[in-house]
C-alpha cells in the first residue's frame, strides 16, 4: 500500500484552501478509514474541528486515508475511534491529517488560517483523552450540579459576569455546597474532577487559548463522556468565586474554600485566566454563557 505523501497536492495559499477529513462510519473494532478532500474557507460543507494534543509521537499506528496509509499518534487514533459514528460519516478538521506535515510552507500557511478554521466550524470537540475511573466520577459530578435559571447579559467579561451571578444567584452556590457538604464525599468528587479532567495535558497546550476563544460551540469529550463547555465554565467559575462574600459561610463552603485554596491558582490559570478573557475580547458580542 502506498505511503501518505501522494495524499497531499499543493494548496493554493491565495484561495484560503483547506482540507477536511471525513471519518467513515464503523464499529469500534473496525479499521479506521477516512477520506480527504480539498475545499475553501469561502465555500465548504459543515464540519467540526478537533482540539487535542498529539501525544507520544514515537508511538504511531497507520490509518487508511484515501486508500493510502497515514501514521497517527495513539491519542489521535483513540479520539477518532470515540468520535466515529456507527451509521453515518463525520466530517472534521484535524491538523495532523488535514495539513501536510512534511511541507513547512503549508504548515505555516495553514497555521495562519487556524482562527478562521476554528471559527467557521459548527462545533469544536475538545478531546481530553481516554476515560478512566476518576474522569467518569468527575463528569458525574459535573452532571449533578444545578443549572442557573437565568442567562446573564454582561459584555465586560466572564468573571465580572460571574461576580454578578454570585450576588444574584447565591442559591446556586448554596446548592453546590450542599452537594459537597460532606467533606469526605466532597473531597472524593473534587479530587476526581481535578485528577480525572483538569490535570490533563490539553490544559497546558499552547494553542488551547486560540482554539477555544474563536469557536462558536464547544464540547469536552473524555473517553465516552461528553459535557458542554459552557456549563463547565459556569461550574468552574462558581467553584473559584465561591459564595456571596457578605454572607456568613456555611460549614460546607468553609471546607470547600479550604480545599480549593491549594488548587485555585491552577484552576484559574487553566479555566478562568487569559483563555476566557481572550474569548470575550474576540467575541465581545457574545454573552458569557456562550463562551
Residue 78 Rama label (left phi>0; alpha psi -120 to 50; beta): alpha
* String of DSSP letters for the chain: ---SGGG-PPP-TTTTEEEEEEEPP--TTSPPEEEEEEEETTB----EEEE-----TTSEEEEEETTEEEEEEHHHHHHHHHH--SSS-EEEE-HHHHS-TT-HHHHHHHHTTHHHHHHHSSEEEEEEES--HHHHHHHHHHHHS---SS----TT-HHHHHHHHHHH-HHHHHHHHHHT-SHHHHHHHHHHHIIIIITSGGGG-TTHHHHHHH-S-EEEEETTEEEEHHHHHHHHHHHHH-S-TTSPPPHHHHHHHHHHTTTHHHHIIIIISHHHHHHHHH-TTS-GGG-
pTM for the whole thing?
0.78
- pLDDT of the residue at 145: 79
Interacting residues of 92 by C-beta distance below 8 A, sequence separation 6+: 20, 21, 22, 23, 47, 48, 49, 50, 83, 125
- pLDDT of the residue at 272: 46
- Statement: residue 48 has pLDDT above 90: yes
Give the mean pLDDT of 87-100.
Answer: 96
- Statement: residue 105 has pLDDT above 70: yes
How many Å apart are CA 202 and CA 204, to the nearest integer? 5
pLDDT digits (tens, 9 = 90+) for 129-180: 999 999 999 999 888 876 654 444 433 233 344 455 444 445 555 556 556 6
For the ranges 27-41, 45-59, 182-196, the lowest mean pLDDT is seen at 182-196
Better-scored residue on pLDDT, 170 or 79: 79
- pLDDT of the residue at 236: 75
How many Å apart are CA 93 and CA 113, to the nearest integer? 12
Percent of the chain past pLDDT 90, that is, above it, reads: 44
pLDDT digits (tens, 9 = 90+) for 223-262: 999 999 988 887 877 666 554 444 444 444 455 555 555 5
Q: What is the mean pLDDT of the chain?
A: 76
Amino acid at each position: 500500500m502506498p505511503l501518505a505523501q501522494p495524499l497531499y497536492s499543493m494548496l493554493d495559499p491565495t484561495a484560503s484552501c483547506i482540507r477536511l477529513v471525513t471519518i467513515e462510519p464503523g464499529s469500534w473494532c473496525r479499521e479506521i478509514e477516512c477520506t480527504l478532500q480539498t475545499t475553501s474557507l469561502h465555500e465548504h460543507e459543515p464540519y467540526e474541528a478537533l482540539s487535542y494534543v498529539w501525544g507520544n509521537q514515537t508511538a504511531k499506528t497507520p490509518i487508511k486515508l484515501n486508500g493510502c496509509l497515514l501514521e497517527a499518534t495513539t491519542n489521535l487514533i483513540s479520539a477518532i475511534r470515540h468520535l466515529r459514528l456507527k451509521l453515518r460519516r463525520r466530517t472534521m478538521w484535524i491538523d495532523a491529517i488535514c495539513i501536510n506535515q512534511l511541507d513547512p510552507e503549508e504548515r505555516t500557511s495553514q497555521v495562519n488560517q487556524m482562527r478562521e478554521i476554528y471559527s467557521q466550524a459548527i462545533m469544536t470537540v475538545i478531546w481530553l483523552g481516554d476515560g478512566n475511573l476518576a474522569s467518569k466520577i468527575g463528569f458525574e459530578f459535573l452532571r449533578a450540579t444545578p443549572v442557573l435559571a437565568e442567562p446573564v447579559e454582561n459584555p465586560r467579561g466572564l468573571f465580572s459576569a460571574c461576580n454578578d451571578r454570585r450576588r444574584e444567584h447565591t442559591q446556586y452556590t448554596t446548592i453546590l455546597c450542599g452537594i459537597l457538604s460532606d467533606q469526605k464525599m466532597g473531597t472524593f468528587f473534587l479530587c476526581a474532577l481535578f485528577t480525572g479532567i483538569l490535570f490533563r495535558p490539553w490544559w497546558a497546550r499552547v494553542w488551547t487559548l486560540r482554539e477555544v476563544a474563536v469557536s462558536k460551540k464547544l464540547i469536552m469529550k473524555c473517553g465516552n463522556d461528553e459535557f458542554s463547555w459552557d456549563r463547565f465554565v459556569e461550574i468552574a467559575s462558581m467553584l473559584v468565586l465561591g459564595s456571596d462574600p457578605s454572607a456568613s459561610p456555611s460549614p460546607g463552603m468553609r471546607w470547600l474554600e479550604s480545599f480549593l485554596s491549594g488548587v485555585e491558582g491552577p484552576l484559574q490559570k487553566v479555566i478562568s485566566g487569559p483563555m476566557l478573557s481572550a474569548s470575550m475580547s474576540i467575541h465581545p458580542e457574545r454573552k458569557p454563557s456562550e463562551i
